[in-house]
Structure 1
Amino acid sequence: MNFSKWNLPNLKKTDLNTKAGRKLAYTCLKIFLLLLLVGAVLGTAAGFGALKGLIATAPDISNLSVTPSESATYIYNSDGSVMQKLSLGSSNRTIVTIDQIPEDLQHAVVAIEDERFYQHKGIDIRGILRAGIHGLASGRFDEGASTITQQLLKNSVFTGWMNESSLIDRFRRKFQEQYLALQLEKKVSKEQILEDYLNTINLGAGTYGVQAASRRYFGKSVSELNLSECAVLAGITQNPTRYNPITHPEENAVRRQTVLDYMLEQGYITQEAYDEAVADDVYSRIQETDSQTEETSIYTYYVDAMIDQIIQDLMEQKGYTEQQANKILFTKGLKIYSVQDMAIQQICDEEFSNLANFPSGTQVGVDYALSVQTTEGETIHYGNDDFRSWYRQNFDSSFNLMFNDEDSARSALASFKESKTANGETILGERISLAPQPQASLVIMDQATGYVKAIVGGRGTKEASLTLNRATATTRQPGSTFKIITTYAPALDYDNMTLSSVYYNAPYTYRNGVPVNNWDSNNTYTGYTTIREAITNSINIVAVKCLTEITPAIGFQYAERFGISTLENSEALDVNQPLALGGITNGVTNLELTGAFAAIANQGEYIKPKFYSHIENADGEVLIDNRTPVTTKVLKEGNAWLLTSAMKDVVTKGTGTLISLGDMPVAGKTGTTSDYKDIWFSGYTPYYTCTIWGGYDNNDDLPTVDGDTYHTYHKILWNAIMNRIHQNLPVKDFEQPEDIVTATVCKKSGKLAIEGICDQDPRGSQVYEEYFIRGTEPKSSCDKHVALTVCQETGLLASSTCTPVTRVFIKQPEDNYDTTDDTNYAPPSQTCPGHKPATILDGLKDSQTPDSTTVIDPDSTQTQDTERRAEEDGDTPVTIPGDGDVSLGLP
């Protein structure tokens, strides 16, 4: 810088400018800081006010009691008698104090649920930060950070948190939960909080609290549990269904291993104790205990289904979580009123136990699971696929989990287990389930109320509660029963078709080029076919053409309106042409299919199937009420009756002729999938709707055996059961709506029949009486039959020289080039070339000289003269056989 005397004025000027700038900047900074301070104060005040408001509105826990009180739930029959007591395992809940709970169990739960439980003050800051970082990194804030204290509060205080509709609601609840956790820990000791939590938690199989779970799984008091058993219980808490050690020992074994690992890492157990627990064969003891208690604790299929429905209803209608719904069901002294008809149920059970109703070649199906631990500590799980592969390699390459008898099945399973433990592996758990095959399921509903009167979830002895229920949980392909639900119901109701609407039954392919085959072995093509006939004889091509016209999207919508919840809403999956024939991704349950047909039986009103009429709480107040059913209008009453009329034909002269209840009217639809993997009959009377499914659990084909009933036993069962149910019921018909009218129509056009034409079809009269909703009956006459004058000899259109006759023909579609039953009666397209008239000289040829070559020209004057004289004399023409018809005037 230049500091000479000549430059000093410039330096002073620059200094003044710099000072002025600094002063201005300082002033701006002060203003900014002041505004920032004001903003911070205002923001803090607002935030403080909001938080203060959240705190002020938090639930009062000054008198909170989180210790549960045991109160059994009872299910009552319709006559008021006790049907089932829902208790907590094999004994009532017993509240235990912390000193009765082994330290290993306390530590196991803390290690897996809240590792800093003994250090934090109610909330886990580190856990919250970890969950926050995980959420920011993954975009999913799904990692939990709740402490045991918070979980206790959520289950006891914030019971409606599932109803939270926004992020703000969740934040409000979460903040209040954390605030109350801090407050609770100021009032209550860690031991008391842990004690209440361990007495509250859901531990699967209908047990709540560690004492009930210990009794259920191990048959002893919780105070007697060892480390291995404690780890089993601690492993259940995260998901009581998935980690149930009875039904899912493999899943629980993995979780149990995690619990033991955490306990070792956190210093709760020694390596020696860890090794001993890992080597313990705890699941065999669980299975043994379960087998000893199953006689008194096993629920029926009906109770299983009712429990599932009640838990679902509590979640959907009351906003509870699954855990809370289970807790309410088993601990709050509810009174549940069943709608099961015990007399009907007894009939169903007896007929399902009657071997005469099933094929003679009954086999035994296997459902198997085995968990072992290798000498290196690795846990290996084996299931049905492993057993099947092993058996195929060693014995039978076509084996598919079925044996001829139970002894053979158990022997093979024992050999498999031996092969998997030959090197010193330790068995962690084993599950064996044997069931007769083929199987069947049944649902009977009162269509007027929606009440399920009886169900059967499978053949054979029921081995446990809340197990596989083929009537309510298993999904199978519905086959042709779906033609009614997805095709003909919407065709009538949405597209204003009628039972006389006609489609041409001829060779046809899906849009992708795959042929559509009719079910009968001859693949008969009937030509013009009414919807009534297509329903009666279950004609596949007509169903697919019909659905294609109304569009699969409409068929899909109607299926959902009928209560079918298992469909996949995608053109690549279920919104496509095979929907007409029941070709769907996941199949349907028997319960939902029965509900759909019950809607048709109930004049088009759908009612969701229900297993109970109402539920009362311990104070006698109604918690859920099904006594006034909620109905959804699926079909017009008239269209429901028309479908019923057509399905009565299925039973009397179609694919369901094995069904008969004497004078009692029956309507229904058969359903069979490819190679007889599934067989269905869903039918109804004016009283009840009943669906029976049959097939193998492993989806094998039902065999074709001469003289046996593999393909018909479902109909035999339906008959046996429904005949007994209706034995003493008055015979009555389905009530016909007032707007139903009749019209005389032609089967080949669906239009008004023409007398003298439609009734003169070469195959017999095609005229019949059809029902219509008033206003939909046809107004025009048949346009498929045509009466033509043809040559009696050639059948071609008659020329002037032919002997004419009148015959009736069927017009053919312009775009059809395939052979059907109708093409044999197509009208001729050519005219007869005519016949050469003869003369008297023709008749004298034989008497003339053989070499005579005289020929009379048919157009000559002589010939014309002969014909004219014959007409004038009134002689009757006579037909003379030969190369052509010759008319001669006789003298």
Structure 2
Amino acid sequence: MNYGKRGIVNQAKELNSGTDKWGKKFSLFGFYILLSLIIGFFIIGASAGIGVFNGIIATAPDITNIDVTPSGFSTFVYDTEGNQTAKLVSTDSNRIPVTMDMVPENLAHAFVAIEDERFYEHNGIDIQGIIRAAVRGITTGNFSEGASTITQQLLKNNVFSGWTNETKLQSVKRKIQEQYLAIQLEKKMSKDDILINYMNTINLGSNTLGVQAASLRYFNKSVSELTLSECAVIAGITQNPSRFNPITHPENNTERRNKVLRKMLEQGYISQVEYDSAMADDVYARIQNVNQETGGDSTVNSYFVDALTNEVLEDLIDAGYNETQAYTLLYSGGLKIYSTQDPKIQAICDEVYTDESNYPEGTKYLLAYELSVQSADGTVTNYSSEMFTSYFKEQKSSFNMLFNSSEDADAAIEEYKAAVMSEGDTVLGEKINLTPQPQVSLTIEEQSTGYIVAMVGGRGAKTASRTLNRATDSYRQPGSTFKVISTYAPGIDSAGLTLATVFNDAPFAYSNGTLVRNWWGSEYRGLNNVRAAIRDSMNVIAVEAITLITPQLAFDYLKNFGFTTIVEKEVINGKTFSDIQQSTALGGLTKGVKNFELNAAYAAIANGGVYIEPKLYTKVVDHDGNVILDNTQANSKRILKETTAFLLTSAMQDVVTSGTGGSVNFGTTAIAGKTGTTSDYVDVWFAGFTNYYTATTWTGYDNNAKMTNSAEKNLSKTMWRKVMEKIHADLPYSSFSIPDGIVSATVCSRSGKQPIAGLCDGTLYTEYFEEGTVPTESCDVHYAGTMCAIDGCPSTESCPFKTAGVFELTPEVPAALQSGFVNYTPTNSAYTTVTDENGNTTTVLNTCHHTAEFMAQQGIDEIIAAEQAAAQAAAAAANPEAAAEAPPETVVDTVPENVAAGN
């Protein structure tokens, strides 16, 4: 500043200058305007900010409607003794809730110490923490340090579930709402409630949610049993469940655990002695041991649990849930499913069926193969098992994907790859699955309750859950096991058959003309009753019986027996199929049956004729303890009279004691059952029961190959006995009781009717009957008189070939069966029923053709000589040794005593 004379003069001029005065006025005015704008912008900005803030708060979820309880929980399956047999989980549901009294104090303190040290002091947000994080961010440029309280984290996990995919703007909005709601939540919920919900919610790695699931996963024990060191391990996972996973990254978790312990010591939660002890604990060695013992994260459910989950899903849908809701509830709803599985019986089944020494030597392996190949130009070609099969069938027409060893299969795979791949091709993917053959299945049911107590769905290692279960999913032909339930059950129950009813095992054809063949070959055994037909599994008589009672009646009974796979009428590939046919008697079905349904049918017989729908669980309880599926009541109905069930049981006892199923008899209790074999031994069954349990075993190749050796053909019976003998080892002997309404009577075994004294003395036997069904007709098989050696019929008075004695005649064939017998004429039977014009019927004895008129014709001597010569030739052909010893010129003029019609 110039304070000299010139300076003072210049200042005076400036003060008196008009231009300068207006310039200053405008400058001041501009300053005021600028200041006003700044203040205005500040006010507007503040108002807008307050408005935005209020808007964000206004759009926050209503605190009164907020539920911070975790929503996804594991479902558990329990057996009949209360043991946990399975845990069903899906994404975000491997959680087992616990209450605060179950959580060790050290675990609660560990989380507070590492995650929110002022948790018990703040009101939901930690101002100190926010300021600290802000300062750290400004000074370091790293704003990653969080200041979220446990309350905020609880809200973030259970209310703001979409935060992982939010933008920065959405993140700011969410954090403001999160802090606001944290304050509100602390007003309505105690610290302990907030903390326990947090500990039940958090992700703790290895697909575990919550402290209980983590404790079981890493230490194989309940959270209540955790040590201080173990508590610190779990609390240390929270910040980054992948990075701090104690199984996959123990070194990272060690650093974090040590920090947790240090924080707990600093904050006064533990003493120096406790800290030192925990630090010295070799906790990670225990974790690795548990991981090996429990098999890691991959849990494959058993065949029983697979079947159970399918049944529960179906029942949930039937109860009103849609498919998605049912699935979510099953795998994320924290359900408790109480199954019918008996752990002791299942253990026996598993022991027998996993023991490879119980299977025939020479196990084969069925290959399933898929290959994806990328060529040099980028083209991708996929090759299937069918294409693999076609390639090798060109070399060998009988090729069927079965190999004697895995090495043979590998060699075939390499050969195929060499054939389909060119130079420059690369394998994108390859799927190889070798399944041991023959395969097996088993169902065991407690027939008095309908409980399926054990199940085996296949042989070999089970590599995944909900794979093919041959006990519940496979359709296989039931063979002769169907004779009892399709034919003899309805026949005895409502069509007039008894165990004594006699049929003729002789050439008989289906309605299409195809001859019915017995399983033992071309031999026929003549007259046999129903008991013998069941015992020896006689095919011809079974078809005769279903023809007599009608296939429609058989089909109606099969529906009552619970079969869901039988077909009334169905068009498949342009052809119409139906199981209302004669071949149903032998188990020749359109589709086949399921093991557990066949077993349930036999269980109905074992249960006195009452069918109980088989069940795999008794009840399902939701996360809150409410019963949502009650399956305790038996869904039952009477499908057979109790007397019918007993008669069938009695006949099937003979199967075990002297028939086709003799090898299953272990002798410590009464057993009834039926064998079943399809053509060429493609499917082999045994279905049987005691007073305790009903079991059905199946054996066969998945690709329907034929079983060739005796061990394979008898495997179903072998496994049935091995399992059931062990199950009954400690059970008392129990015989099948005779119900009211059953009587016994002596009948002729050749006719099934009242015996004639002096004629039937050698064929008497005592049979069980339902009251009112004991036959009243006299025997029509045994005949005292003379027989013709030429016709094998009772002789006329003028017959030159007659001989006197007691003979067996073929009884008259029912009209419904006459067209089925090959070359049948009325004279094939000893009797013919004649109806006169008034409707009266009489039975006429058929005699030989040597009537008076026949014998009176010209040249009768030559005719008789020719008949005699023909008889001699037939006898010689039948017994050449006897013919050679016979004296020359012997004239046969009598019938040998052992000749019987129909044989």
- Over 3 Å counting, the alpha-carbon distance change for 1:67 and 1:326 in structure 2 is farther
**Contact 1:73/1:331 (<8 A) preserved:** yes
The CA deviation at 1:630 is 1.4
Counterpart code for 2:497: M
1:364 match: secondary structure: strand
Aligned residues of 1:567 and 1:584 also touching (Cα < 8 A) = yes
**In the alignment, is the contact (CA less than 8 A) between 2:677 and 2:684 conserved in 1?**
yes
Measure how far apart 1:92 and its partner are: 2.4
In the TM superposition, residue 573 of structure 1 has moved relative to its aligned partner by 2.4
Q: Write out aligned runs for 1:837-876 (5 A).
A: none
Aligned partner of 1:392 in structure 2 is 393
- Per-residue deviation, 1:663: 3.9
- 1:191 is matched with none
Alignment-derived partner of residue 730 in structure 1: 732
Tell me the residue number matched to 1:367: 368
Query: Relative to structure 1, is the Cα distance of residues 601 and 533 closer, same or farther in structure 2, using a 3 angstrom cutoff?
Result: same
Task: Provide the C-alpha distance between the structure 1 equivalents of 2:768 and 2:314, rounded to a whole number of angstroms.
Answer: 42
Which moves more between the two structures, 685-694 or 791-800?
791-800
CA contact (8 A) 2:782 2:809 kept: yes
AA paired with 2:555? F
| Counterparts in 2 of 1:426 and 1:325: CA distance versus 1, 3 Å | farther
**Cα separation, partners in 2 of 1:320 and 1:807, compared to 1, 3 Å:** same
- Which deviates more from structure 2 when the two are superposed, residues 495-504 or residues 478-487? 495-504
Larger deviation: 425-434 or 796-805? Answer: 796-805
How do 1:714-793 residues align onto structure 2 when only pairs under 5 Å count? 714-759=716-761, 765-789=762-786
1:126-165 → structure 2 map (5 Å cutoff): none
For residues 51-200 of structure 1, the aligned pairs below 5 Å read 69-88=71-90, 92=94, 97-98=161-162, 100-101=164-165
Contact in 2 for aligned 1:502/1:750 (Cα 8 Å): yes
Verify the 8 A CA contact 1:90 1:293 in the aligned structure 2.
no
What SS is found at the alignment partner of 1:482? helix
Q: Distance in 2 between matches of 1:422 and 1:295?
A: 40
Question: 2:596 is matched by which residue type in structure 1?
Answer: L
- Mapping of residues 528-677 of structure 1, within 5 Å: 528-570=527-569, 572-677=577-682
| In 1: Cα distance, 2:379 partner to 2:543 partner | 54
Distance 1:424 1:471, change over 3 A: farther
2:416 counterpart of 1:416: yes
Change (3 A) 1:70 1:737: same
Change (3 A) 1:831 1:390: closer
Residue aligned with 2:440, SS: strand
Contact 1:506/1:818, CA 8 A, preserved across alignment: no
RMSD of aligned alpha carbons: 3.8
- Corresponding residue of 2:263: none
Q: Structure 2 vs 1, CA of residues 799 and 716 (structure 1 numbering), >3 Å: closer, same or farther?
A: same
Residue of structure 1 equivalent to 2:120: none
Structure 2 CA distance, aligned partners of 1:780 and 1:744?
13
CA–CA distance in structure 1, aligned partners of residues 892 and 428 of structure 2 = 96
TM-score (norm 2): 0.60
Query: For residues 848 and 347 of structure 2, what CA distance do their matches in structure 1 show?
Result: 66
The Cα shift of 1:380 comes to 4.3
Match of 1:319 in 2: 320
2:495 corresponds to: 495
Distance 1:67 1:746, change over 3 A: same
Give the SS at the match of 1:329: helix
Aligned partners of 2:593, 2:892: CA distance in 1, in Å?
Answer: 67
Q: Distance in 1 between matches of 2:801 and 2:677?
A: 53
How far apart in 2 are the matches of 1:498 and 1:84? Answer: 48
Q: Per-residue CA shift, 1:454-494, capped at 9, x if unaligned?
A: 11111111111111111111111111111112111111122
For 1:671 and 1:518, the matched residues in 2 are separated by 13
Specify whether residues 374 and 728 from structure 1 end up closer, same or farther in structure 2 by C-alpha distance, changes over 3 A only. same
**Structure-2 separation of matches of 1:382 and 1:792:** 71
Deviations 1:496-550 (A, max 9, x none): 32112222222111111121111112x3323332221211111112211221222
SS across alignment from 1:503: strand
Q: Confirm or deny: 8 A CA contact 2:72 2:93 kept in the other structure.
A: no
Select the structure of larger CA radius of gyration. Answer: 2
Q: Secondary structure at the match of 1:606?
A: strand
| Cα deviation, residue 811, structure 1 | 3.5
Give the letter for the 1:556 counterpart.
F
- Quick one: structure 1 residues 817 and 453, their matched pair in 2 at CA, closer, same or farther if it must change by over 3 Å? closer
1:376 Cα deviation from its structure 2 partner: 6.4
Say if 1:410 and 1:504 are closer, same or farther in 2 by CA, change over 3 A. Answer: same
Contact in 2 for aligned 1:102/1:223 (Cα 8 Å): no
The letter for the 2-side match of 1:726 is H
Deviation of residue 831 (structure 1)? Answer: 6.9
Which letter maps to 1:829? C
Change (3 A) 1:626 1:583: same
Question: Cα offset for 1:664?
Answer: 1.3
Cα shift at 1:749: 2.2
| CA contact 2:543–2:583 (8 Å) conserved in 1 | yes
Q: Which amino acid aligns with 1:769?
A: T
Tell whether 2:474 aligns with 1:474: yes
Secondary structure of the 2:452 match is strand
Residues 74 and 89 in structure 2, CA contact (< 8 A), matched pair in contact too: yes
How far off is 1:808 after superposition? 2.7
For 1:829, the equivalent position in structure 2 comes to 848
**CA distance in structure 2 between the partners assigned to 1:746 and 1:207 by the alignment:** 74
Q: Counterpart of 2:336?
A: 335
Q: Is the 8 A contact 1:304 1:465 kept in 2?
A: yes
**3-state SS in 1 of match to 2:719:** helix
In structure 2, C-alpha distance between the alignment counterparts of 1:482 and 1:692, rounded to whole Å: 14
Aligned partners of 1:817 and 1:97: how far apart in 2? 79
TM-score, L = length of structure 1: 0.60
CA distance in 2, matches of 1:737, 1:613: 30
Name the aligned partner's letter for residue 612 of structure 1: Y
Residues 1:207 and 1:576: Cα distance change in structure 2 (over 3 Å): farther
Output the CA distance in 1 between the equivalents of 2:392 and 2:791: 69
- How big is the shift at 1:651? 1.2
Map 1:211-226 onto structure 2 (within 5 A).
Answer: none
- Is contact 2:73-2:93 (8 Å) kept? no
Q: Distance in 2 between matches of 1:794 and 1:511?
A: 28
- Secondary structure of 1:588 counterpart: coil
- The 8 Å contact of residues 788 and 809 in structure 1, kept in 2 or not, is answered as no
Q: In structure 1, list runs of 5 or more residues that go unmatched.
A: 1-59, 104-205, 213-220, 225-291, 760-764, 834-880, 886-891
Do the aligned residues in 1 keep the contact of 2:753 with 2:779 (CA within 8 Å)? yes
CA distance in 1, matches of 2:790, 2:305: 75
Q: Residue 655 of structure 2 contacts residue 662 of structure 2 at CA under 8 Å; is this kept in 1?
A: yes
Displacement of 1:615 after TM fit?
1.1
Displacement of 1:439: 1.0
Q: Distance in 2 between matches of 1:90 and 1:433?
A: 31
1:774: Cα distance to partner?
Answer: 0.8
Structure 1 position 375, deviation (Å): 6.1
Structure 2: any 5+ residue segments left out of the alignment?
1-61, 96-156, 168-206, 214-238, 243-293, 570-575, 832-845, 853-888, 894-903
Residues 343/486 of structure 1: CA separation in 2 closer, same or farther (3 Å cut): same
Aligned to 2:406: 406
- The separation in 2 between residues aligned to 1:102 and 1:384, in whole angstroms, is 46
1:385-416 Cα deviation digits (max 9, x unpaired): 1111123345x442211111122223433443
Kept in 1, the 8 Å contact 2:74–2:331? The answer is: yes
> Map of 1:255-334 to 2, 5 A cutoff?
296-316=298-318, 318-334=319-335
Match in the other structure for 1:122: none
State the partner residue of 2:183.
Answer: none
Cα contact 1:89–1:297 (8 A) shared by 2: no
Q: What's the secondary structure of 2:662's corresponding residue?
A: coil
For the Cα contact (< 8 Å) 1:786–1:811, is it kept in 2? no
2:442–2:595 CA contact under 8 A, matched in 1: yes
Separation (CA, whole Å) in 2 of partners of 1:884 and 1:541: 35
> Measured at CA, do residues 90 and 423 of structure 1 come closer, stay the same or move farther in structure 2, by a change above 3 Å?
farther
Aligned match of 1:357:
358
